[in-house]
Structure 1
């Protein structure tokens, strides 16, 4: 097998993307620390917010800028690992890492705020994300997107934004939008798991390879241009680089099916962790506020008895 190091440093580590993320992180620190006093109603940056944003940015780079991204264009299995980490782990960390006072200002922007309020409603965010994810993995759509750098970038960013919408009702901390509580969060998570199951099932149970850009031939070579400089790719193509089979012994069909399984398994693990945290927080809230909850229930019974 040929090592992926033949693609060179730029393809492996995406220094321009890394620089863009570093610049974005510095802007984040300037707004939340150095320039914070310039904004009305701002609050000091909390340690957990800084950690969350840092983790989210690191995960974005690992999935879209490190060798993982290059492998994601060679193996469909790694592509699905990318999707799981980027959409189901990095997205909520980014939301939690941005202070609430900044989110309030974003939602206060006249037109943008109204759009965001609509798009972050639980039913709409569920449908939008599930539809985006499913459409993205239709063979015709994915193959088309992977042959165009602008289209691939636009669709990836849009899909990530839809993931932010998906997680917003669960992890947001501001009061101007809908925030789910208790069992509503549980139902929301379960519904999300169910809605993307058909897309994963189609990938898992199909008996033929369906993605041209993950097979040998011209389509695969063209798709590699998404992460490999044209000069390097041209040299390798002239040297006889033909397809992903030179990097792995796994048949294309098995790679495709394993990718669907990996996505579903990772989703279930991530959602399981989230559900565990939801149940723990619910139990802790019930325990810490047992007296207040009892009083409210008694008052509600007295009110109802007055009308019976």
Structure 2
């Protein structure tokens, strides 16, 4: 039985195939989330307070859905052994779509739970450092797109699972400094978030450039794979290069959201300061008038 999507030397068909390992992986993440809410939530929230806001649960659900779509048939099978462009779509879903949605779905009290576990907290604080996060996500991007890694790992279920898991973990690490549930868990301030997010857009240009401008297919796996819908290996590789930069609009949108929230918060602070200043000035004038009257 095939548990995880990997390269297969057979012609592609649109006949559905089951991958139980994918289902078990997705189900395990959902069960872990529910178990944490049910068992730990009441200990860290007031009796009349929800353990998790419904909006956060919806975000987590959409993140898991994106993860499932990227991993299961047909994207999982196409990306593992037929089309480099679909492989790139998987990377985008694993790194730029599923992780932020999953992190937005985490309870705000989760860092408090991890803080009581010193080893887990030290690991979290280490990877939450912006420099460490940037190095990690970029290293995973470059290593998992080396020809020996792609051609070798994608041919086995364990190797393909390793690449997928590395992408997911790297995505979670990348987005954590931006979307951590609490500031003390490593969340950056708004100005630093914008600069950090900008830096994440630089390194993906390297594989994207190789994909677009290379005269020959880079990966033997996708060059020699049975063709799907008559798509040539060269055209598939160029499409993959263009798609590799499709994550940039997501990053720019995130930067815009951060900037708008920052500007709104600063405007509110300025308005409060102005109101306080006017109130103090009015009190000062009143006291001066009372003194002159006496």
Fold conserved between structures, TM > 0.5:
yes
Residue 31 (structure 1) aligns with: 36
Where does structure 2 lack aligned partners over 5 or more consecutive residues?
1-10, 277-294
Deviation at 1:108, TM superposition (A): 3.3
Are positions 1:5 and 2:14 aligned together?
yes
Residue 22 (structure 1) aligns with: 27
Aligned equivalent of 2:241, options 248, 257, 260: 260
**TM-score, normalised relative to structure 1:** 0.78
Give per-residue Cα distances to partners, 1:202-233, cap 9 Å, x unaligned.
222111111011122xxxxxxxxxxxxxxxxx
Deviation at 1:103, TM superposition (A): 3.1
Residue 142 (structure 1) aligns with: 150
Aligned equivalent of 1:291, options 271, 276, 283: 271
Aligned-residue CA RMSD in angstroms? 2.4
Q: Verify the 8 A CA contact 2:99 2:172 in the aligned structure 1.
A: yes
Deviation at 1:101, TM superposition (A): 1.3
Say if 1:27 and 1:194 are closer, same or farther in 2 by CA, change over 3 A: closer
Deviation at 1:23, TM superposition (A): 4.4
- Measured in 1, the distance between the counterparts of 2:268 and 2:139 equals 40
* Structure 1 consecutive aligned stretches of length 4 or more whose deviation exceeds 3 Å: 33-36, 39-43, 291-296
Give per-residue Cα distances to partners, 1:228-275, cap 9 Å, x unaligned.
xxxxxxxxxxxxxxx322x222210111121011111x1121112112
- Measured in 2, the distance between the counterparts of 1:160 and 1:293 equals 43
Are positions 1:244 and 2:226 aligned together?
yes
- Measured in 2, the distance between the counterparts of 1:282 and 1:293 equals 16
Computing the radius of gyration over CA atoms, which structure comes out larger, 1 or 2? 2
The aligned runs of 1:1-308 (5 Å cut-off) are: 4-6=13-15, 8-10=16-18, 14-33=19-38, 36-37=41-42, 39-40=43-44, 44-73=51-80, 74-216=82-224, 243-245=225-227, 247-264=228-245, 266-292=246-272
Where does structure 1 lack aligned partners over 5 or more consecutive residues?
217-242, 297-308
Deviation at 1:15, TM superposition (A): 4.1
Give per-residue Cα distances to partners, 1:45-94, cap 9 Å, x unaligned.
10111011100110010000131112213111111111111111101111
- Measured in 1, the distance between the counterparts of 2:152 and 2:112 equals 38
More helix as a share of residues? 1
Residue 306 (structure 1) aligns with: none
Residue 224 (structure 1) aligns with: none
Say if 1:150 and 1:293 are closer, same or farther in 2 by CA, change over 3 A: farther
- Measured in 2, the distance between the counterparts of 1:150 and 1:70 equals 14
- Measured in 2, the distance between the counterparts of 1:259 and 1:112 equals 37
